[in-house]
Structure 1
Amino acid sequence: MLVAIAAWSTIGALRPAPAAHTAVVVPARDLAPGDLLTEGDLATLDLPPGAVPAAAVRAVDDVAGLRVGHPVAAGVPLVGTDLVEQGAWSGAGPGELVVPVRLADPAVASLLPTATPLRLVSATGAGPTLLTSEAVLVSRVEAESAGGLLGSSESGAPLLLLAVPRDVATLVLDASAGGTLTVAVEAGA
């Protein structure tokens, strides 16, 4: 019996120690550009040291409240380049600009989901023109009761901050200023 205990102790001592693991932050669901991260969107995953990306986020508290700059799949470690700094004007990814717009139909603005891809159309008497199918709602600023020159408000429409491709930003701004900007959301988005 003593021999068996001694053998078992020796085998246990010769076994390598369990490899150290590092906790990294991962999305608990697929994330879209512009998504605002909450603690419920995030989880931690223990990875062996060789599998941890150099810029991996290590604590949920470090990223809760920030926005995602591009799509990130559930379970993939978050890294600093996945995130954009806090603030309504910082929701654009590479090659994009954030532009302030108002839609031709103000009631539509309140129906738009944040971080969903949008198709922006300029609807004029000459017919509709697709400006981009790659816009994303970053933020919505509700209209104030008084504003504009001499305290009058020209519109009760919310101001939308949209991330759009850089090459169409001026077209989108022009359509907004001309009151012809409208939007469509992809089915299932």
Structure 2
Amino acid sequence: MRRPLLPDLQDLRRALRRRRRTLAVLLLALVAVTVLPQWAPASARTVPVVVTARDLAPGHVLAAEDLTTVDVAEALAPAGPSVEDAVGRRLTTTVAIGTPLDTAWLRDPSDPRSAPGTVVLAVPVDPSLVTHLTPGTRVQVITSTTVPGDTTVTSATVVEMSDSAGQGEGVLGAGAGDSRTVVLATDPGGARDIAYATREGWVALAILG
């Protein structure tokens, strides 16, 4: 014989009345988790920002233990790389502990600009060589010196090519005409010799095979 439905409903109502405080707390917790964050003002919301976990020197190749994240107000959070994007890349500057990481400070280890002690400078180049130069091309820069008839040879790597044109006479040699500009990475001593010759003497590039 089936039991009447009414007693079951009465039992359910009594059970709900006894637990109404617990149910109310659970409902408020659910609202707090799912609804309130969407209503919070932008200044109250936070996002993770990648910062350095210790002082780091230029040329350091980042590892996961060099980095951590902190929560920053969304409106104040600087743009920057994720930990995954930063690991394995080389720093170009000194970064103190707790500093938010900036993508502009990072270079791929294969980038010639990222090596410690590297100097980057622009050098005029004969237009006939332009088609043979691409980023990564190794060259020798032959320059005049203060001693008549003397030259220096500096190894360098092409970083980028410039579309700008200039007058090369007096730099690439008499009658050189228009020149293009190439950005090179080299050592500080070589950069000093190249800079002097670019201004006061002549410069020539030889491409290494």
TM-score interval for Structure 1 and Structure 2 normalised by the shorter chain: 0.3 to 0.5
Normalised by the length of structure 2, the TM-score is: 0.40
Normalised by the length of structure 1, the TM-score is: 0.43
> Which one has a larger percent helix, Structure 1 or Structure 2?
2
Larger Rg: 2
